Structure 1
Amino acid sequence: MQRDDFSLPANPPGGAPRLRASWRRSERYGLAADDIRPVFTGSVDTESLLYECGREVLRGLQKTLANEPVSMMITDPDGLVLSRLSEDATINRSLDRVHLAPGFYFAERNAGTNGLGLALADRAPSLVRADEHYCTGLRGYTCAAAPVVDPSGDVAGSVNLTTWSDSAPELLMALAQSAAANTSALMLARGAGRFAPPTPHGEVFRVYADRSRAPEEALPTTGWRGAFAEARTAFRRGLAVAVVGEPGTGKTALASLARRELRRERVLSARPPAPEDVESWFELWVPELGKDSTCVIVSGVDSMPAWATTELAHLFTRVRATRDMQPYVVTASSADTLPDELRELIDVVVDVPALRFRPDDIMPLAKHFAHQARGRDIDFTPAAARALTAFDWPGNVRGLRRVVREAAARTDRIDLHHLAPEVFTGPGRPLTRLQSVERDEIVRCLTEPGTTVSEAAEQLGLGRATIYRKIRQYRITVPDRTP
């Protein structure tokens, strides 16, 4: 990809792509390079898991760096400095003068290009040296920061280490990454024993129209049809489209089907990459952008590093400037989370409703997925159908497909005991692994045909009062279950 085609109004020394993109964003935010005025809030959240774990990790690091002029900070995901630790009075006084202190926001939009702001924007470890800072008031420092990931896999905040600009930065970066990783691990250990999800790899794949069924056959439900018709109309008019909705609602599938109903073209889907894979990810699919025979769908643009969305916006701008039709689509979790640079290049936003708002779609989809799994029609008992329809499906269509395929692999007639325990559990706090095992065993006994709650309690070696308490604790609901 030729990044040199894009002229930049402001250029940091060295011209690294991430820094150039950050300086461009800083200028777009209207920041004055010679006047740093971060927003101040009167209080910070000192009760959060991030604060607790981050402070514990940094206190340990502080003992190692007791005689070094290094200030260590924890920030929330919006760049709000929650805590600052340092025993060096000189650097503390200096940082106070530029407001790099608890209670101040240091995201890019507040303080321009800086270490912690860049780490949060790009979701990647970041080192900003001296005059690489956008604001001149920060150019006396070198800042190394790394994002902290919470037990769900989301960015919870960052660890930032700041020292004088003439200090060696390599060790600082290694220490920041280590502290962030240790904070994430401690949060994971204390956050109900959950496993972090795998990081994305930025898969890119093509779907060919002549190898797929007609949209009417692949779209068996009514709840999708309004969004489908809206997307198809936008494509017919040659408009750039953003398809938004919760994870798992089928945004990419809907866009692909709507495009292929109009044109026999290949649809290229590019999923968001891990921060370290962005450049190679671009190289895979950018040559296809703008071709008459290809529609590009870039998924999850709201989860991409900020510099990647900047590059993406420039690519799309170039397509719009040279073609009458804009053969690209983006997806995001909501219209509000679309990056500003991309929002300006989108003509129509299509909202795909979550599955919990489409209860009439659940059983048609379930039968569709069961048929896919076994190659023939699979029956559902009335109780199983009621359980599937009553569930909120936080994972949306993706979650329903997984549950149904697992059940269909075991039987030709799906009943309660074939369904995953999660289907019978209401929303609540995350469970530890031990609690999940206990919950699953209770559900397994309760869903056995003809088993009463009393009989389930006896099988588990529990008293009636205990099993009823556990049912309330885990919010277990099993249709047609008798006492």
Structure 2
Amino acid sequence: MTTTGLCEREQLAVARDTAPSHRLVASWRRSAGYGLPLDTVDPAFAGAVDDGSLFYESGHEILEGLHRTLGEEPVSLMLTDVDGLVLNRLCTDRRLLGALDDVSLAPGFDYSERFAGTTGLGLALADRVPTLVRGDQHYCTRLWGYTCAAAPVTDPGSGELVGSVNLTTWSQRSHTLLLALAQTAARATEGLMLARGRGRAPRPTSRGRVVRVPVPRDDAGLGPLWRAAEDRAMAALAGDGGVAVVGESGVGRSALLRAAHARRSGRRVLHVRPPEPEDVGSWLALWAPELDKPSTSVIVGRVDHLPAWAVDEVAGLLADGPAGSVSMTARDLAAVPEALRPHVGTVVELPPLRHRPDDVLPLAVRFAREARGRAVRVDPEAEQALTTYPWPGNATELRTVIRGAVAGADVVSVRDLPPEVRAGGRHRLTRLEALERDEIVRCLAEPGATPATAASALGMSRSTVYRRLARYGIRPPTGPAR
């Protein structure tokens, strides 16, 4: 990293008698590392923006209401996507609009930290925490005339970062309420997304759990793709370089690392999950001292979800610690933060569960045993349904389904499975098709039900019901038709 820009930026802070926070200095360092000049701002222009997403529609509606409340106040309200691309801009103050155009803070421009340096919206996205950047706290001097407050917005179902709400005004104006307004708008956007997202329950909040994990070897019966990935992870752990297991969410990345660690005798393993942005300091204090212990290994899960300044801290720990003491998981190698990539010697890809049908039944039996505390049997019809369903949520979805199926029984039957699993996954259904499929499955789940009784209950002919069974891949109950 070049240090000239950073040194100049810190000298400016000293000259103006300001005391920058740790997060600001870390952002300045990254901005200097990107080679950004101090005196100009030149964000990339991406052109068209996605204005059809649930995030955009919800956020735009919230900002329109806030804009009406603010009236003639010189405040620009914006949404950005997860990459810092400005999606919209609401402002009635012509002078402020002209000034924002001069620095390209406008729809279609990329205002991420990589292209615009330290700004409120760039730092809010990088660190995933509400952020206020005032005047000369910006990396680029061209932005010193503005104060920016931004709050990240996450999908209320998945917890994925989807963008930010950004409020910008003149630097000489009061900023007391600016950050509070941005946070309120962000939370209101998430609430509206939840209400419009088919009533999904919000995800449980992660608090950066640090747990010692038991590592008994419990992968009996798993198929060749799992075995091959585990063997590769084991070989990497035995070497000097770090290992990253990549794959879709819920696929079993951390479980694979635990299984590989189980084959290394005598090592204590900690599994570290990403914290909420405000908890990064205490999160690091929980597990960072363990890196000095030669008998301890650490799995840092989902490094692609870490706030930027947490990434910098972890990278510093890895640079000072023993090689290979930390393994990590991420969606793919490109999602591993740049500062952590030098510490990845081997990348192990774990295929999604739909490509590992041999693993479905062994995992189902294991999850059932965990839920019931004793052996559980899966009947043949349920086996067929489980192995033909594509499992878009991977092993996490399978665990949830199995726990529900064995809530009151020691046998998993096809009637205990959700409609979508019973129907298989032959093609993507429309909303009306999905409703029709679920009604047929519900009728067939009644005691003594047959296709004939389902046809009567649904007001369909028997031949129509049989065609729907074939179309949706529904397996009717065994027994003579009536």
Query: 5+ unaligned residues in a row in structure 2: which ranges?
Result: 1-5
Q: Deviations over 1:204-223 (max 9, x none)?
A: 11125xxx53x2x4443023
- How far, CA to CA, are the matches of 1:469 and 1:62 in structure 2? 56
Superposed displacement of residue 160, structure 1: 0.7
Aligned partners of 1:80 and 1:469: how far apart in 2?
A: 50
What is the aligned counterpart of 2:200 among 163, 179, 194?
194
How far is the alpha carbon of 1:429 from its aligned partner?
Answer: 8.0
Give unpaired runs (5+ residues) of structure 1.
Answer: 1-7
Normalising by structure 2, what TM-score? 0.88
| Residues in 1 aligned to 2:101 and 2:187: alpha-carbon distance in whole angstroms | 27
8 Å CA contact 1:193, 1:431 repeated in 2:
no
Larger RCO, structures 1/2 (Cα 8 Å, 6+ apart)? 1
**Are residue 249 (structure 1) and residue 247 (structure 2) matched?**
no
Closer, same or farther: CA 253–290 of 1 in aligned 2, 3 Å: farther
Q: CA distance change for structure 1 residues 248 and 105 in 2, over 3 Å: closer, same or farther?
A: same
Q: Which residue of 2 aligns with 1:4?
A: none
Alignment of 1:291-440 (within 5 A): 291-319=293-321, 323=322, 325-424=323-422, 426=425, 428=428
**Residues 134 and 146 of structure 2 are in contact (CA less than 8 Å); yes or no, is this contact kept in structure 1?**
yes
1:477 equivalent to 2:473? Answer yes
Q: 1:444 to 1:190 in 2, by over 3 A?
A: same
Contact 1:243 1:330 in 2 (8 A): yes
1:406 shift after superposition:
2.7
SS in 2 for 1:262: coil
Residues 19-98 of structure 1 aligned to structure 2 (within 5 Å): 19-98=24-103
Please report the TM-score for the alignment, with normalisation by the length of structure 1: 0.88
What letter corresponds to residue 475 of structure 2 in structure 1?
P
Query: Is residue 179 from structure 1 mapped to residue 180 from structure 2 by the alignment?
Result: no
C-alpha distance in structure 2 between counterparts of 1:97 and 1:295, whole Å: 51
Over 3 Å counting, the alpha-carbon distance change for 1:342 and 1:429 in structure 2 is farther
Verify the 8 A CA contact 1:446 1:478 in the aligned structure 2: no
1:263: which partner in 2? 265
State whether residues 237 and 324 of structure 2, in contact with CA within 8 Å, keep that contact through their aligned partners in structure 1: no
Cα gap change, 1:429/1:176 in structure 2, threshold over 3 Å: closer, same or farther?
Answer: farther
Q: Report the count of equivalent residues.
A: 462
Q: Please tell me the residue identity of whatever aligns with 1:330.
A: M
Q: Say if 1:383 and 1:480, in contact at 8 Å, map to a contact too.
A: no
Are 2:76 and 2:167, in contact at CA under 8 Å, matched by a contact in 1?
yes
| Superposition misfits of 4+ residues, deviation over 6 angstroms | 429-432, 435-439, 469-472
CA contact (8 A) 2:155 2:190 kept: yes
Write the distance in 2 (CA, Å) between the matches of 1:221 and 1:206: 24
Compute the displacement of 1:357 (Å): 0.5
Contact 2:455 2:462 in 1 (8 A): no
Deviations 1:48-91 (A, max 9, x none): 33332222222221222222111111112221111111111111
Distance 1:388 1:31 in 2: 53
Q: Distance between the aligned counterparts of 1:380 and 1:373, measured in 2? A: 14
Q: How far apart are residue 98 of structure 1 and its match? A: 0.5
Q: How far apart in 2 are the matches of 1:198 and 1:417?
A: 29
Q: Of 227, 230, 248, which residue of structure 1 is paired with 2:229?
A: 227
- TM-fit CA distance, 1:431: 7.3
Q: Partner residue of 1:5?
A: none
Q: How does 1:204-243 map to 2 (within 5 A)?
A: 204-208=210-214, 212-213=215-216, 215=217, 217-222=218-223, 223-243=225-245
Offset at residue 180 of structure 1 (A): 1.4
Letter in 1 for 2:204: P
Aligned partner of 1:253: which letter? A
Equivalent position SS for 2:162: strand
- Indicate if the aligned counterparts of 2:303 and 2:329 stay in contact, CA closer than 8 A: yes
Deviation sequence 1:254-290 (CA, Å, 0-9, x none): 2122123123111011111111211111111111113
